[in-house]
Amino acid sequence: MSAPSTSDGEGFAASTNRAPDPRERLPLSKILAYGIPSFGFATGLFFVQFYFLKFATDVLLLAPAAVGILFAAGRIWDGIAAPLVGYLSDATHHRMGRRRPWLFAAVVPFGIALTALWNFPATLSQGALLVWTGCALFAFYTAQTAYEIPYRALGMELSSDFHERSRIFGLQRMAFTLGTLGAFGLIQVVAVSADPRAAAGQIAIGLAVAAGLAMLVPPVALRERPEFLGRGAKSVFSAMRDVLGNSHARRLLVVWFIDGFGGGMVGTLAPYVSQYVLKRPDLTALLPTFYVVAAIVTIPGWIALSRRYGKRDVYVFSLVLGALSFGATMLLGEGDLILVCLLLLGAGASGGCSAALAPSILADVVDHDEVETDERKEGAYSAATGFTYQLAAGLVVFAAGAVLQATGFVPNQPQSPAVILALKGLFGGLPLVGFLLAALVLRGYTLDEREHRRLRRVLDARQTRA
């Protein structure tokens, strides 16, 4: 990272360290009300994302490629639903605001779908079970999209300050990342259970209730900015055209797709690496703990660094750190516990930076879009980035399932050298290449603090004239 500048000159080093506008600085109570509940949502989401493939192959004995296709099909549907939800969320005109009606409406379907995914009639044939799984996944990810996109949009609207946004999303992502740890804890309980099918079903019911209650907190506790009401795009097509036409957004979408693909591969394959590479299935939940804890505890440090060196340069540095940390996991062998823990600490630190700064940067891009279009499209931009991440996550499961089946994976048995090599390549090699590529792409991002201040002056002048 380059040295900070004391002037207001050009470049990303010109971070001013100014205090946020008092009008835009939020009380801690509001930040907590927005951020902390995402723990419950994330636990439910990642319990499915990081474990259902292994549960389906090793417990339900479904073909890995078939389950991978179901996940990929769900993401294709998400590609249709996400832009529509984003547009409709921006265009919603309700006395509660644009986002809160969606948050209220999505909670119950999310819980029902989560329960159905892990609870099914014992008499189902393998074919019927595959159909049940596909329908439940379809419902689950639809409900997830209906909640997550307005939720992200609500966070971007809470403050217009360049650095206050990092504070908002920093705390929210700490809670969200902690939810990942909660999911791995539940995965561990299922993995060591004498009856994994029954254990997963019981956990899903309790999780659906707990996550649902947490997800109700933001729409109950927060209020929206009335000046943004009725400021959405004219149509879903014009919204997506504006998003894809924004040069800053295009670059970030590429970065976030690569970031999501690499990070999702690690989460999806961690149970396989624990059992078949390290030969320690009892560490399925413990190993990701190092990743998650590192991500959480480093978020405040990344935010502080971004104030000094700029969001972009700090983000680029973290991607390189992640590439090296993940790439070195290809050296792992049986019993290499100390090495894997150290590498996961580095990878987790990288993930903490991305978690906090990526949504903060996106909020800045929404301001740039408003200058160009005179519309507020937080929902559309949340949909684009959310779909990018979800597409990457779905392709992770599809790729993992296809590669495991192609290399001769046999559930609950010692694996061939080809399978072990495939696991290492997916777990470490793919993130190594992807994160380095993402760092190169991100170097071209140019919306720094100085440019954002210019944008805010334009928007403030428009509001004054209005």
Q: Which of 62-66, 322-326, 417-421 has the lowest mean pLDDT?
A: 62-66
Contact partners, residue 226, CB within 8 Å, separation at least 6: 97
Percentage of the residues of the chain whose pLDDT score is greater than 70 = 93
Residues 6+ apart with CB under 8 A from 121: none
Check if the beta carbon of residue 163 is closer than 8 Å to that of residue 308.
no
| pLDDT of residue 93 exceeding 70 | yes
Q: Read off the pLDDT of each residue in 50-64 and give the average, rounded to a whole number.
A: 83
State the Cα–Cα distance between residues 337 and 107, nearest whole angstrom: 39
Rounded to whole angstroms, the Cα distance separating 148 from 304 reads 27
The CATH homologous superfamily to which domain 30-465 belongs is: MFS general substrate transporter like domains (1.20.1250.20)
Residue 283: CA atoms inside 13 Å, Cβ hemisphere, count?
19
CA distance 292 to 278: 19
User: Rounded mean pLDDT of 33-37?
Assistant: 93
Contact between 411 and 58 (Cβ < 8 Å): yes
- Most confident by average pLDDT, 48-62, 223-237, 295-309, 387-401: 295-309
pLDDT digits (tens, 9 = 90+) for 397-439: 778 888 888 998 888 888 899 989 988 888 888 889 989 999 9
Band of pLDDT at residue 2, cut at 50, 70 and 90: very low
Mean pLDDT of 264-276: 79
Q: Residue 131 contacts by C-beta under 8 Å, 6 or more apart in sequence?
A: none
Q: Is residue 1 over pLDDT 70? A: no
Residue 386, C-beta contacts closer than 8 angstroms, at least 6 positions apart: 82, 86, 145, 148, 149, 152
Q: 8 falls in which pLDDT band (50, 70, 90)? A: very low
Provide, rounded to the nearest whole percent, the portion of the chain with pLDDT above 90: 45
- Which tokens in the block code for residue 207? 């999780």
What gap in Å lies between CA 140 and CA 112, rounded to an integer? 8
Q: Are 24 and 167 in contact (CB under 8 A)?
A: no
User: What's the whole-model pTM score?
Assistant: 0.79
> What's the pLDDT tens digit per position in 184-200?
889 888 888 888 889 99
- Tell me which residue has tokens 């559930």: 411
pLDDT category of residue 285 using cuts at 50, 70 and 90: low
**420-424 long-range contacts, Cβ below 8 Å, gap at least 24?**
420/276, 420/277, 423/269, 423/272, 423/273, 423/276, 423/277, 424/273, 424/277, 424/329, 424/330, 424/332
CA distances from 375 to 91, 127, 241, 396 (A): 10, 48, 13, 34
If you search the block for the tokens 């296709």, which residue do you land on? 69
- In this prediction, residue 12 carries a pLDDT of 40
Model pLDDT for residues 337-371, shown as the tens digit of each residue: 889 889 989 998 998 999 889 999 999 999 999 99
Reported as a single tens digit per residue, the pLDDT across 135-179 is 998 999 899 999 999 999 999 999 888 999 999 999 998 999 889
Which has the closest alpha carbon to 53: 429, 435, 395? 395
Backbone φ, ψ for residue 46 (5° rounding): -80, -20
pLDDT at 3: 41
CB distance 335 to 38 below 8 Å: no
The alpha carbon of residue 460 and the mean position of all alpha carbons in its chain are separated, in whole angstroms, by: 31
The pLDDT of residue 51 is above 90: no
**460: Cβ contacts below 8 Å, ≥ 6 apart:** none
Token pair for 285: 């939940």
pLDDT at 23: 58
pLDDT at residue number 253 = 92
Candidate from 24-33, 68-77, 109-118, 452-461 with smallest mean pLDDT: 68-77
Asked if the model's pLDDT at residue 5 lies above 60, the reply is: no
Greatest CA separation found in the chain? 71
What secondary structure letter does DSSP report for 407?
Answer: T
- Averaged pLDDT of the chain: 86
Q: Is the pLDDT of residue 82 over 60?
A: yes
